[in-house]
Amino acid sequence: MVRKSIFTKRYERLTTLLIEARKAAGMTQVQLAEALSRPQSFVSKYERGERRLDVVEFLEVCEALGVAGVRIIKRLG
Q: Residues 14-52: pLDDT tens digits? A: 999 999 999 999 999 999 999 999 999 999 999 998 999
Q: Radius of gyration of the chain from Cα atoms?
A: 12
Instruction: Flag whether pLDDT at 73 surpasses 70.
Output: yes
User: Residue 36 sits in a domain of what CATH number?
Assistant: 1.10.260.40
pLDDT at 58: 98
Is 2 contained in some domain? no
Query: Identity (one letter) of the amino acid at 33?
Result: A
Is 1 contained in some domain? no
Widest Cα–Cα separation across the chain: 39
The DSSP symbol for 50 reads S
- Using an 8 Å Cβ cutoff, are 49 and 11 in contact? yes
Q: How many domains are there within the chain?
A: 1
Instruction: Flag whether pLDDT at 1 surpasses 60.
Output: no
- Using an 8 Å Cβ cutoff, are 52 and 6 in contact? yes
C-alpha 29/C-alpha 39 separation (Å) is 9
